[in-house]
Amino acid sequence: MLALWHDSQETRTTDLDHVARSYLHATSNEQITADQTAALPRPLASLLRGLVAEYEGRASLEADCARDADKLEIVPARAAERERLVAPPKRLGRPAIRMP
């Protein structure tokens, strides 16, 4: 459950990398989660806030594992993005001039 909720704040802030965060006043993930869960029943809100606090504080092996998994999911996404940017453009139709 911790791994599911650790990035829930990105629904409001997008996924800012560490460079972008240095240029912005970032609200803490704990505060965003508190806002997101304010209308939930108190026991559920407390559970979710606790999970985010555990993740942000690296307070357990599960939190470290979720953090590592979050970093690892970037690798295939960046590889696909690089492939898209580096790949030659696809031609539409036949070339107008034939080369011998």
Query: Tokens 């993930």 — which residue?
Result: 29
pLDDT (tens, 9 = 90+) of the chain, 100 residues, equals: 767 677 777 766 667 666 776 777 778 889 989 999 999 999 999 999 999 999 989 889 998 988 888 888 788 888 888 887 776 666 666 666 666 6
**If you count them, how many residues does the chain have?**
100
Say what the pTM is: 0.59
54 vs 60: CA distance, rounded Å: 7
